[in-house]
Structure formats: structure tokens, C-alpha cells
């Protein structure tokens, strides 16, 4: 039977999305199947007026040519297009959310899609799982996020590229911090989990790493920076994940739009100010922000993305339903989607990377 697959990319973009799109498309076409892409998450169906050439596009060999190394996603993405909680303005101009999942079901039926390949993080895969239950479509999830905070897979694609770039930035900041005897606080992404901050911080020999999993005591951080000066190092590199917070304190946020998670940011500036005040040392803050999300995927991320995309199509051929492809070395395996929904993977505090950081004398703020 001819299979008709539809795929989409949801949530924050991550390096490697295009490699997954290419692998799914080619693997399916080589089996004689048809592949379509929904533009910008589910918006291609929900707001077709935004897409003059149609919100659902055929994916052909030509459409996916030369995209393996490109960052971003050729389909576009959004984190303001959840069909289960779609933002709308009521007659008083107030923003509300409405359930528009029935329109997704209707579009899937109209096109005759057999399966949805949903490429996303925790949020997008939870939505896809629910869409699958309501529409009856078979959902194959592909785990994406630079944050690496998805359970049941050793790695998500995008993480290695984010860590590599953040490490390069920290190396660069190291030389300027040392030249000026400054504290440089570097804020990196990491909403609920501190994987990017921890991995890049250890790789780049940061002096302090603050992650969401370990609420920090600013006095301990200040003490660590002060202690370095008599040993000939009047500078410090302090890595802070955007979701880190002081003991008993709050997350630093920049506001919240309807139907969207709160935008995080600001903790780096607060830490830099507090360190200046407590140590008397000059402190600056650099926010890496979306720089760690953009750009070319590393070779490791390209390979993982291509393996995930091809495995998603093999899963369909083997008759799998409602699973996520997952890296469980040495294999790419399948995990029931219901196990993945709402399952966040934090940095394990008893793991060897935390132990390594402590053994190296890196302050984790506790
Ligand atoms: O989930 C990936 C991520 O990069 C988080 O680390 C960050 O909090 C969030 O996306 C930012 O999303 P946005 O680009 O919508 O502000």
C-alpha cells in the first residue's frame, strides 16, 4: 500500500532539523511513498492565509537537495501554534486559547495521510501524541532539542552543535577575561535542564557553572572568584543557564505571551551585578541566546539527524505505531510515545559529569 507521510517541525529550531527532513523524505521516496511537509508547525493548516503557495507542501528529492548542513528548518517552525491551545483575541481584545485540533484531523483526512512524523522537543512531541490520539493518525516522533532534556534517548540532535559553539564562545571569552582581569558571566540557553551550560562549561574550563538543577548561593560564587585572585588569576568565567535560580529565589523571566512558555532571560546580568558588588571585581555579562541555536550542525548532529530520519521511515515500514525514535547506543531504537510525553530529563546530580566538574574544582554554586 502506498504510504503518504506528512511531517512537521515544532518548537525552537535546532541544528539538524533539515538533515532529518532530508532523511525522511529520501527514505520514503526510495520506497515509493509520498511525503508532504506542514509549514510552521501546524500553522500551515490553521492559518493557510499566511502561506500564499499553500501551507502543506510536497517534499520531493529536489526540495531536500543540499540541506543536510543547513541550520534552521526549511519548513519553518513556531512555538505559538499549538492546535490544542491556539491563541486568539476575543471581542474585547483579550488573548484566549482555543482547541483547533479538529481542523488538523480534517486536513489529515482530506489529504489521506497515513502517518505524521513530528520532529520536536518535549512540548511538540506531547502535542503530536495528543493529535495522534484525537485524529487516529499514526505518529512517529523524532527527538529534537538543543537543551538535550528529553527522556528515553541518550541524545537529541542539536545538542552537540549547541555545546560546540558555546564552548568556542567560552574559549574566546576566556582570553579577553584573562587580559582584563574581569569576571565574565556567560548566560546560555537551558530552560529546565543545564546540559548545555554544564557540558560547555566543563569543556571550556569555566570556574563556575550554575544550572537549573542546583539552586545557587551567590556568596559561594563570589568566594570562588575572590579565591582565584591571590593564585594569579584575577579573572573568572562564570557560566549560567538561563533557567538557573538562587536558593529560595525565582526564575528570571522577560514576560509571557498567550499560549507560550515564559521567555527566560536576565539571570546572567543579575549574577554579574551581584558579583561586582560582592567582590569589587569588574564583571561583565554576555548572553549567547539564539546564537547557540543557529548555524551549521556538527558532523555528529548531522549523522544523528540522518539516522533518526531514516529510522522513522523504517519504523513505519516495520508497522510501528506511536513511537519516538531514540538513540540507545549502539542502536537507534523505538520508545512508546506515551512514555516520552511530559518526560523531562534533568542533569543527574549523581552522574559523573557533575563529579568531574567538582573534582576539577569548578564551583556549582552550592
Ligand atoms: O527549548 C529550546 C530553547 O532554546 C530553550 O533553551 C529556550 O528557553 C527556548 O528554546 C527559547 O525559545 P524562544 O526562541 O521561543 O525564546
pLDDT, one tens digit per residue, over 116-125 is 999 999 999 9
Same domain, 98 and 47: yes
Mean pLDDT to the nearest integer, 140-160: 97
Nearest CA to ligand 1 atom 12: 12
Using CA atoms, how far apart are residues 126 and 120, in angstroms rounded to an integer?
Answer: 9
Same domain, 99 and 14: yes
Same domain, 301 and 153: yes
- Residue 242 in domain: yes
pLDDT band at residue 202 using 50, 70 and 90 as cut-offs: very high
Contacts of 149 (CB under 8 A, 6+ apart): 121, 122, 156, 191, 192, 193, 195, 344, 345, 346
Q: Which residue, among 47, 43, 52, has the nearest Cα to 8 in the 3D structure? A: 43
Same domain, 234 and 317: no
pLDDT above 90 coverage of the chain, percent: 92
**Is 10 close to ligand 1, i.e. is its CB under 6 Å away?**
no
Q: Which atom of ligand 1 is nearest to the CA of 189?
A: 6
Give the mean pLDDT of the chain. 96
Domain boundary among 278, 294, 310: 294
Residue 312 belongs to domain spanning = 4-157+297-340
Same domain, 121 and 64: yes
- Residue 348 in domain: no
Give per-residue pLDDT as tens, 10-56: 999 999 999 999 999 999 999 999 999 999 999 999 999 999 999 99
pLDDT band at residue 240 using 50, 70 and 90 as cut-offs: very high
- Residue 321 in domain: yes
- Please state, as a whole number, how many other Cβ atoms lie within 10 Å of the Cβ of residue 64: 22
The number of distinct structural domains making up the chain is 2
**Is 144 close to ligand 1, i.e. is its CB under 6 Å away?**
no
Same domain, 146 and 166: no
Please report the pLDDT score of residue 2 as a whole number: 62
Using CA atoms, how far apart are residues 316 and 314, in angstroms rounded to an integer?
Answer: 5
**Is 12 close to ligand 1, i.e. is its CB under 6 Å away?**
yes
Indicate if 301 belongs to the active site: no
Ligand 1 centre to CA of 135 (Å) is: 28
Same domain, 251 and 301: no
CB 126 within 8 Å of CB 11: no
- Residue 357 in domain: no
Residue 7 main-chain phi, psi, to 5 deg: -130, 155
- Residue 351 in domain: no
Same domain, 153 and 8: yes
- Please state, as a whole number, how many other Cβ atoms lie within 10 Å of the Cβ of residue 125: 27
Domain boundary among 294, 322, 354: 294
pLDDT band at residue 259 using 50, 70 and 90 as cut-offs: low
- Residue 94 in domain: yes
- Residue 228 in domain: yes
Q: What is the CATH number of the domain that holds 143?
A: 3.40.50.450
* From 31-40, 79-88, 109-118, 308-317, the region with the lowest mean pLDDT: 79-88
Burial, 219: exposed, middle or buried (Cβ in 10 Å; 0-12, 13-18, 19+)?
exposed
Q: Which of 76, 80, 191 to mutate to test the pocket of ligand 1 (most atoms within 8 A of CB)?
A: 191
**Rama region for 345: left / alpha / beta (φ>0; ψ in -120 to 50; rest):** beta
Same domain, 12 and 151: yes
CB 212 within 8 Å of CB 345: no
Catalytic residue among 13, 90, 114, 147: 147
Q: What is the DSSP letter of 231?
A: G
**Is 287 close to ligand 1, i.e. is its CB under 6 Å away?**
no
Nearest CA to ligand 1 atom 14: 12
Same domain, 40 and 104: yes
**Is 145 close to ligand 1, i.e. is its CB under 6 Å away?**
yes
Q: Bridge-partner residues for 98, per DSSP?
A: 86
Contacts of 66 (CB under 8 A, 6+ apart): none
Ligand 1 centre to CA of 250 (Å) is: 18
Give per-residue pLDDT as tens, 120-140: 999 999 999 999 999 999 999
Using CA atoms, how far apart are residues 141 and 134, in angstroms rounded to an integer?
Answer: 16
Same domain, 88 and 140: yes
- Residue 354 in domain: no
* Whole-prediction pTM: 0.96
**How far is C-alpha 13 from the chain's CA centre?**
7
Q: What is the CATH number of the domain that holds 167?
A: 3.40.50.460
Nearest CA to ligand 1 atom 10: 12
Mean pLDDT to the nearest integer, 74-88: 94
**Is 288 close to ligand 1, i.e. is its CB under 6 Å away?**
no
Same domain, 290 and 181: yes
Amino acid at each position: 500500500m502506498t504510504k503518504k507521510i506528512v511531517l512537521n517541525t515544532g518548537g525552537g529550531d535546532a541544528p539538524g532539523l533539515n538533515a532529518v527532513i532530508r532523511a525522511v523524505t529520501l527514505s520514503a521516496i526510495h520506497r515509493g511513498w509520498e511525503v508532504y511537509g506542514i509549514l510552521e508547525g501546524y500553522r500551515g493548516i490553521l492559518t493557510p492565509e499566511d502561506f500564499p503557495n499553500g501551507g502543506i507542501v510536497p517534499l520531493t528529492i529536489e526540495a531536500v537537495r543540499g540541506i543536510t548542513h543547513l541550520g534552521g528548518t526549511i519548513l519553518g517552525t513556531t512555538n505559538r501554534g499549538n492546535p490544542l491551545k491556539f491563541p486568539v483575541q476575543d471581542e474585547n481584545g483579550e488573548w484566549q486559547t482555543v482547541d483547533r485540533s479538529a481542523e488538523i484531523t480534517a486536513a489529515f483526512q482530506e489529504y489521506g495521510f497515513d502517518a505524521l512524523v513530528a520532529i520536536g522537543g518535549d512540548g511538540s512531541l506531547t502535542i503530536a501524541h495528543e493529535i495522534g490520539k484525537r485524529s487516529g493518525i499514526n505518529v512517529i516522533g523524532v527527538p529534537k532539542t538543543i537543551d538535550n532534556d528529553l527522556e528515553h534517548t541518550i541524545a537529541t540532535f542539536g545538542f552537540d552543535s549547541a555545546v560546540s559553539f558555546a564552548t568556542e564562545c567560552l574559549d574566546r571569552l576566556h582570553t579577553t577575561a584573562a587580559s582584563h582581569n574581569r569576571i565574565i558571566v556567560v548566560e546560555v540557553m537551558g530552560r529546565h535542564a543545564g546540559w548545555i551550560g554544564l557540558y560547555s562549561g566543563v569543556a571550556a574550563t569555566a570556574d563556575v557553572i550554575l544550572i537549573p538543577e542546583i539552586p545557587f548561593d551567590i556568596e559561594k560564587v563570589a568566594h570562588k572568584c575572590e579565591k582565584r585572585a591571590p593564585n594569579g588569576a584575577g579573572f573568572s568565567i562564570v557560566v549560567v543557564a538561563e533557567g538557573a535560580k538562587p536558593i529560595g529565589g525565582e526564575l528570571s523571566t522577560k514576560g509571557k505571551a498567550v499560549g507560550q512558555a515564559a521567555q527566560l532571560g536576565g539571570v546572567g546580568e543579575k549574577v554579574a551585578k551581584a558579583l561586582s558588588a560582592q567582590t569589587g571585581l569588574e564583571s561583565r555579562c554576555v548572553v549567547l541566546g539564539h546564537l547557540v541555536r543557529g548555524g551549521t550542525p556538527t558532523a555528529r548532529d548531522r549523522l544523528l539527524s540522518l539516522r533518526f530520519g531514516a529510522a522513522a521511515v523504517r519504523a513505519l515500514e516495520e508497522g510501528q505505531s506511536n513511537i519516538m525514535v531514540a538513540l540507545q547506543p549502539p542502536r537507534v531504537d523505538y520508545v512508546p510515545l506515551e512514555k516520552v510525553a511530559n518526560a523531562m530529563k534533568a542533569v543527574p546530580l549523581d552522574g559523573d559529569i557533575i563529579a568531574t566538574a567538582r573534582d576539577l574544582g569548578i564551583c556549582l554554586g552550592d
